[in-house]
Amino acid sequence: MSTPAFPRPLPRVEGDAAPFWKAVAAHRIELPRCTACGTLIFYPRTFCTRCHSREVRWEEISGAGRVYTFSVVHRATHPWFMDKTPYVYAIVELEAGVRLPTMLVGCATEDVSVGMPVEPVFERASDDVVLLHFRPRSA
Amino acid sequence: MSGSGGIAGIAVAGVYEHPRRSAPDKTAYQIAAESARGALEDAGLRLSDVDGYATSGVGPIGVLSMCHHLNLRPDWIDSTAIGGSSFVAQVLNAAAAIRAGLCTTVLVTYGSTAASDRFAVGTGGGSAGDPPDSFDVPYGPTIVGAYGMVAQRHMHEYGTTSAQLAEVAVTMRRHAGLNPDAKYREPITADDVLASRVISSPLHLLDCCVISDGGGALVITAEERARDLAKPVVRVLGGGMAVRHPGIGVRDITDIAARQSGKKAFERSGVRHEDVDLCMIYDSFTITVVETLENLGFCELGEGGPFVQGGRIGLGGALPVNLDGGGLSSNHPGMRGIFLVIEATRQLRGECGARQVENAEIALCHGTGGFLGIRHSGATLLLGRA
């Protein structure tokens, strides 16, 4: 088996974020919510970033969302992405309220628009890591 | 206007911008050292007068190597690293340090060979190691992409057009034509900008800053002392710094750090918007100028597109911006903040020849560092002719 020349940049499944990536690997989106003030916290931390309470509880949230903004990247310099252009780097706003960075897949770059409804795509990136991509939501 | 209590009585006494835009024969340290000499000469001071030193962009403890290289043993050091705005913030830090009695004369230097090193200033990604990055970097962010997302959202919310953004690039190029040292001086039209290739939508090549080598230096000291030095006194009237990030995950990419740092700068200086004769705005991309002018309060949120049209931000307009040609046409070696302070100082001294803003009394500098749209810093400085 050959080693790829440039490894894909992947998150470390560790610390505060480990439950998030483990859930994504099981095709679910889970985030911590503060039990004191109700704030949903993205990216995950083990304390509330609004009221500083340590009481947070992980809960599953819906993957339904809309494109908040995006950019079609025609020139990348991270080596792994160089032969992936053009690709769509985007921020998706989930119905639960958080806005998360992602890659938009499954549609022509010229068809992407702000406000477009999207749904998750669970993209296996390595033995350990599944990434959370999005694609246009089927009606 | 005399500045607020904390930093009143401080002056920019010496400035120097390295004239080279391509310096493959030099090291970054060499450019910084040549700039240090230039700024001290400009002020009429010697290296032995320096007892405070600030630099950035030199790695975690590179400030020590720079002290070694310049043979400085200062009583106060600062290596603030908040991206391209660092040097603007360092003027504030230096002012506070001098007021506190920690030192009397601060040298600020910058040197970079970004272009000769073929360093990807605008298109680099990041490492996925730090917690926030691990939620971003796997999806292929680039600097242009981050600013592109800001432009896309701005267009969606406010109807801003690519032609309006292009007007910023056209104006900067016109100013660069009046600056003999600028990297690109040939005039361009809005059509040229729109016809240039898309780097990361909706930003075209000519919406992006250049990549150059370069550097510069500043000398900051007490106004009382500056009066006895070589050049007309330029006072630090006030300033502020700020950070913006998505916080708990609800990023609003039209609300930028300039809103907070600019508000502080105006409050602390007592300057009103209508008093400002010129702006030096970090123009990493055309959209950066539009959003910065809005967030500084020169126009309403969403009005930035129309605001930059009709010659308003050009020499001779109501609010001239980036008379040196900016990062879009003059120079951008990776961290442009120092050039904002250099050009503003020269404008207030009346040294700028063909690109001089007539009777300039008050200048605003605003630096942006990091990735607008992901997380970034802002540092605002108001300078005034004494």
Residue ranges of chain B that CATH labels 3.40.47.10? 5-117+213-236, 140-208+238-385
Q: How far apart are the first and last CA of chain A?
A: 42
Q: According to the model, what pLDDT value does residue B297 have? A: 98
Interface of B with A (CB under 8 A): 120, 123-125, 127-129, 131-132, 134-142, 144-146, 148-153, 156, 197-203, 246-251, 253, 373-374
- Give CA torsion, residues B75, B334, B264, B274, to 10 deg: 120
For chain A, domains (ranges, CATH) are 13-61 (no CATH), 62-139 (2.40.50)
Q: How far is CA A127 from CA A10, A132, B183, in A?
A: 11, 15, 48
Q: According to the model, what pLDDT value does residue B125 have? A: 47
Average pLDDT over residues B205-216: 97
Average pLDDT over residues A20-40: 96
Average pLDDT over residues B171-188: 98
Nearest to A74 among B125, B198, B373 (CB): B198
Average pLDDT over residues B102-121: 89
Greater confidence (A2 vs A115) lies with A115
pLDDT confidence tier of residue B7, bands split at 50, 70 and 90:
confident
- What 8-state DSSP symbol labels residue B35? H
pLDDT confidence tier of residue A3, bands split at 50, 70 and 90:
low
SS3 B254: coil
How many Å lie between the alpha carbon of B285 and the closest alpha carbon of chain A? 14
Residue B290 and residue B256 in contact, taking contact as beta carbons nearer than 8 Å: no
Q: For B139, list phi and psi in degrees, rounded to 5.
A: -105, 10
How many Å lie between the alpha carbon of A71 and the closest alpha carbon of chain B? 5
SS3 B264: helix
Alpha-carbon distance B57 to B87, whole Å? 10
Q: According to the model, what pLDDT value does residue A78 have? A: 87
Chain A positions in Cβ-Cβ contact with residue B251 (cut-off 8 Å):
91, 99
What's the CATH number for B5-117+213-236? Answer: 3.40.47.10
* ipTM value: 0.94
Alpha-carbon distance B32 to B38, whole Å? 10
Mean pLDDT, chain B, rounded, equals 94
pLDDT confidence tier of residue B96, bands split at 50, 70 and 90:
very high
Chain B positions in Cβ-Cβ contact with residue A98 (cut-off 8 Å):
248-250
Average pLDDT over residues B14-26: 96
Q: According to the model, what pLDDT value does residue B174 have? A: 98
Please, what is the angle between helix B286-296 and helix B162-176, to 10°?
Answer: 100
Select from A23, A9, A21 the least CA-distant residue to B126.
Answer: A9
For β-strands B362-371 and B278-281, DSSP reports them as parallel
Q: According to the model, what pLDDT value does residue B119 have? A: 63
Q: According to the model, what pLDDT value does residue B117 have? A: 87
How many Å lie between the alpha carbon of B183 and the closest alpha carbon of chain A? 23
What's the CATH number for B140-208+238-385? Answer: 3.40.47.10
| Residues 55-84 of chain A whose Cβ lies under 8 A from any Cβ of chain B | 68-78, 81, 84
Average pLDDT over residues A108-115: 97
Handedness of CA B297, B300, B304, B309 (dihedral sign): negative
Residue A116 and residue A66 in contact, taking contact as beta carbons nearer than 8 Å: yes
Residues 6 or more apart whose CB falls under 8 angstroms from that of B312 comprise B318, B319
**Does the pLDDT at position B121 exceed 70?**
no
The full length of chain A comes to 139
List beta partners, residue A102: A90
Nearest to A11 among B138, B148, B199 (CB): B138
**CB atoms < 10 A from the CB of A62, how many?**
11
Average pLDDT over residues A106-134: 96
Output the furthest CA–CA distance in chain A (Å, rounded): 51
Q: Which of A72, A89, A100 to mutate: most B Cβ within 10 Å?
A: A89
Q: For B39, list phi and psi in degrees, rounded to 5.
A: -70, -40
CA-nearest residue of chain B to A52? B248
For β-strands A87-94 and A30-34, DSSP reports them as unpaired
